[in-house]
């Protein structure tokens, strides 16, 4: 099925896009998660090939040179994330639609490439203050990295209006309900 569709979820880190995407994978049949590649170290709770395809910085740069990525971004210095073209093709060959949990620039790049075959959804936190609290609760950030993420989030929020749909995640259950309805409508078109 090379005529599959793509569902793109983008948001600042901590806005809740990953939680929403995981719920959608359980309630909407025919979706398969696109596993991004990244050059950052694996966190203790992450599984290679499930959360990300963890590859070395050198291998990532080699794949960029070979044109293997649909999109890629240097999100932080020497920390690259990207979507391998082969990942989308693999999912479509399995007869599924692709769902992405991806950074803002990557989401916009995929939307630009696939146009009407893709639905781009931006998940917004209710406020920067709430976003900061969520990131602190994760326990994965020190003060410096937290400030970098908040600064990046403020920049990313300026792109929200370039997406097809914006969902404010103040209440996860409501955000999941809205996302489910939005995605099902798009897939049934």
Q: What is the pLDDT of residues 47-104, one digit of tens each?
A: 999 889 999 999 999 999 999 999 998 878 999 989 999 899 999 999 999 999 888 9
> Among residues 108, 51, 102, 50, which one has the least CA distance to residue 81?
102
- What domains appear along the chain, each with residue ranges and CATH number? 6-187 (3.40.50.300)
Interacting residues of 55 by C-beta distance below 8 A, sequence separation 6+: 37, 38, 39, 63
Least confident of 9-18, 91-100, 178-187: 9-18
Report pLDDT digits (tens) over 136-172.
888 778 889 888 889 989 999 999 999 999 999 999 9
Residue 37: what pLDDT? Answer: 94
Question: In residues, how long is the chain?
Answer: 189
Mark residue 16 as left, alpha or beta (left: phi above 0; alpha: psi -120 to 50; beta: remaining). left
Q: Contact, 113 vs 70, CB < 8 A?
A: yes
Radius of gyration of the chain (CA): 16
Q: In angstroms, what CA-CA distances link 121 with 41, 51, 111, 138, 168?
A: 27, 20, 10, 24, 11
Could you tell me the pTM of the whole model? 0.85
pLDDT on residue 105: 87
């Amino acid at each position: 099925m090379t005529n599959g569709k793509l569902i793109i979820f983008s948001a600042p880190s901590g806005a809740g896009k990953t939680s929403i995407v995981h719920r959608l994978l359980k309630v909407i049949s025919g979706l398969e998660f696109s596993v991004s590649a990244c050059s950052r170290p694996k966190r203790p709770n992450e599984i290679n090939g499930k959360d990300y395809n963890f590859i070395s910085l050198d291998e990532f740069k080699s794949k960029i040179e070979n044109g293997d990525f649909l999109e890629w971004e240097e999100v932080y210095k020497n920390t690259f994330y990207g979507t391998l073209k082969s990942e989308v093709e693999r999912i479509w060959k399995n007869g599924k639609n692709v769902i992405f949990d991806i950074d803002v620039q990557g989401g916009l790049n995929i939307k630009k490439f696939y146009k009407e075959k893709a639905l781009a959804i931006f998940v917004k936190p209710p406020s920067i203050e709430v976003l900061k609290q969520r990131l602190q609760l994760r326990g994965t950030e020190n003060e410096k990295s937290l400030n970098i993420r908040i600064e990046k989030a403020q920049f990313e929020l300026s792109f929200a209006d370039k997406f097809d749909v914006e969902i404010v995640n103040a209440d996860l259950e409501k955000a999941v309900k809205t996302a489910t309805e939005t995605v099902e409508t798009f897939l049934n078109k």
